[in-house]
Amino acid sequence: MQTSRDTRDLWSARHRDCGADPTDLNLDLDLARFLCSTHAGHGPQCRQYLAAAAFCYGNTAR
């Protein structure tokens, strides 16, 4: 599935805050992957990355 540019813009706006837990991750693996790449390298204080990475890993490591 291709993610549209509008959707990515929306995700960027909603998940810009590294200190906030993403709340809609369980709905969308594409979103989790997007956050993994967007917040990669932000370190352990980035909750967006931690949550997204955990979600991606949980869905691919089966």
Residues in contact with Zn ion by the rule CB under 5 A = 18, 39, 42, 46, 48
CA distance 60 to 42: 22
* Cα torsion angle, 42, 32, 8, 18, sign: negative
Q: Which is nearer to Zn ion, 2 or 41 (CB)?
A: 41
Q: Which is nearer to Zn ion, 46 or 51 (CB)?
A: 46
Q: How many angstroms from the chain centroid is the CA of residue 37?
A: 8
Shortest CB 47 distance to Zn ion, Å = 8
Q: Which is nearer to Zn ion, 33 or 62 (CB)?
A: 33
